Amino acid sequence: SVTECKMVDLPKVSNAQGNLTFIEGKNHVPFDIQRVYYLYDVPGGAIRGGHAHKNLHQMIIAMSGSFDITLDDGRNKKKFHLNRSYSGLYICPMIWRELDNFSSGSVCMVLASSIYREEDYHRNYSEFMRALEG
Ligand code: TYD
């Protein structure tokens, strides 16, 4: 459910020369990372996502700029504003998500627990709701 989806603080090493954040498998992400992908050059006003994953765990980080993520488990919705390179939003399986309000030049990095499989997607909201009802 959306209550399992949380912002996770990542380590940040700061000095006068700038900041450094690192992410270690298992230590900072509650799943094994099998894939990394990123969204960039997103035009103003674009809405991304609009699907749920059956088994995939993800962590989403705003590497640059900002955007909003709305999560929906079929009962409750929760909205997050991502704008820090040192915090990630963990999303468990079976959560419908929409990403919007991308700032210009923003980069959205996603860590995922599996390689890309189209069969893992619910791309139809009513089909997603039916799957939740079991
Ligand atoms: P999609 O997950 O629908 O993007 P978003 O949720 O950001 O709007 O993926 C868009 C397209 O990219 C879709 O045709 C599948 C393809 N794709 C891959 O080939 N590999 C990947 O790892 C991802 C995430 C998408």
5-15: average pLDDT: 98
Domain positions in the chain: 2-133
Question: Which residues have CB under 6 Å of ligand 1?
Answer: 35, 37, 39, 48-49, 51, 116
Q: What is the pLDDT of residues 53-108, one digit of tens each?
A: 999 999 999 999 999 999 999 999 999 999 999 999 999 999 999 999 999 999 99
Residue recorded with tokens 């619910």? 122
Amino acid making up residue 47? I
Backbone torsions φ then ψ of 31, nearest 5 degrees: -160, 165
Task: Tell me the CA distances in angstroms from 12 to 9, 38, 60, 87, one per residue in order.
Answer: 9, 21, 17, 9
Q: Whose CA is nearest to atom 1 of ligand 1?
A: 49
Q: Ligand 1: which of 37, 42, 56 to mutate, judged by most atoms within 8 Å of the beta carbon?
A: 37
Q: How confident is the model at residue 50, as a pLDDT?
A: 98
ipTM (interface pTM):
0.97
Fold of the domain built from segment(s) 2-133: Jelly Rolls (2.60.120)
The count of C-alpha atoms lying within 13 angstroms of the C-alpha of 73, restricted to the half-sphere facing its C-beta, is 11
